[in-house]
Amino acid sequence: MGKKVKIGIIGVGTIGSVHAEAYAKVPEAQVVALCDLLPERLQEKGKRHGVTRLFESYHDLLADHEIEAVSVCVPNRMHAPIAIDAFKAGKHVLLEKPMALSQKEGMAIVAARDAAKKVLTMGMVRRQSPDAEVVKAAIDSGKLGEIYQIRIRLIRRRGIPGLGGWFTTKGESGGGGLIDIGVHFFDLAMWTTGLWNPTRVSAKVYSKFGSPMEDYHYISMWAGPPKFDGTFDVDDYAAGMVRFGDKATLSFEVAWAANAKDEQMLEILGTKGGLVVGGDTVLLTEVDNMMADIKLNFKQDGGGFPQEMAKFVAAVKGEAEPPATGEQGVIAMRLIDAIYASSAQNAEVAV
């Protein structure tokens, strides 16, 4: 094993701790510094993760020459400013999803990466899961034939995070469930199929459950508890259809909250077979002129955040390509921008 890559984590809320715990499982990585605006949380997380170099200003962390790479785990509004400053400081960057508030900001991040000649990896952890890799391998081997339709159904019955906080404040987050969780499955759909050319979209987003906040009933709340003196001005449900030229379509439903059963499902239809991801991963095809449903088996352990961090570190060391590129992040942002524009205009729009 060679020299460890020294990592700094900017933002040590829930996802920042997830990154720290994942890096701890990567032998080639060492988290040496943490940064957070909240002093008490910073001290607590420093003790939890065994890190003594603590900064309240990300500029001070970036000025530390020993740090080679950073994970950016802050509210969406700060993704672009911090990532760009990190590149200017000569750091490699793992940037949590979504890339930024807009395609324009995403393109500025990529330009900063190019100027710095550093690595940028997007935090698209869903594609690092074992089932996603099996699905991509099946598609790449031609088992589905020509792909012409994708369907995403990503439903939380009651799953609004941090009600009243930055998640539900458009100026901080850029949007609601669509940009928060929908981005994972848009990325997964495009990555597995290789369809990175969304051309037109017709969609509508809704906000039905988060306001008034006192009327929102739930069982649990990630990033809670609610802040009833805060803001809810984002979407909690989105539906629509995306065209990929004349080659394929993608229909989607994404909800933070809806009167529907919880569901995570990706369905991909091709001329030779179809795939359903969600619960079991099943290939629907024909064998000897008979209909056949083939359950795809794979190792259940592994994947996820530790694999994402391991691939990022390998890219930093020049041993591999980034597992999710900045260019792909820009495409996902362009699609999300178009979905919001279509909803606002009540019309189909170009992506």
Interacting residues of 42 by C-beta distance below 8 A, sequence separation 6+: 12, 34, 35, 36, 54, 55, 56
When pLDDT is averaged across residues 186-200 and rounded to a whole number, the result is 98
Cis peptide before 161 (omega within 30 of 0): no
* pLDDT value for 235: 98
* pLDDT value for 147: 98
The answer to whether residue 168 scores a pLDDT higher than 80 is: yes
Model confidence at 193, in pLDDT bands (50, 70, 90)? very high
pLDDT tens digits, 132-147: 999 999 999 999 999 9
* pLDDT value for 297: 87
For the chain, state the CA radius of gyration: 20
User: In the structure encoding, which two tokens stand for residue 28, read together?
Assistant: 């080639």
pLDDT tens digits, 299-312: 877 789 999 999 99
Q: Which domains does the chain have, with CATH numbers?
A: 5-124+304-322 (3.40.50.720), 127-300+333-350 (3.30.360.10)
When pLDDT is averaged across residues 38-52 and rounded to a whole number, the result is 98
Residue carrying structure tokens 């449903």: 293
The answer to whether residue 162 scores a pLDDT higher than 80 is: yes
Interacting residues of 152 by C-beta distance below 8 A, sequence separation 6+: 182, 185, 186, 189, 250, 251, 252, 253, 254, 265, 266, 267
Q: What average pLDDT is seen over the chain?
A: 96
Under 8 Å between Cβ of 50 and 70: no
Model confidence at 1, in pLDDT bands (50, 70, 90)? low
Under 8 Å between Cβ of 342 and 348: yes
pLDDT tens digits, 325-337: 999 999 999 999 9
The answer to whether residue 43 scores a pLDDT higher than 80 is: yes
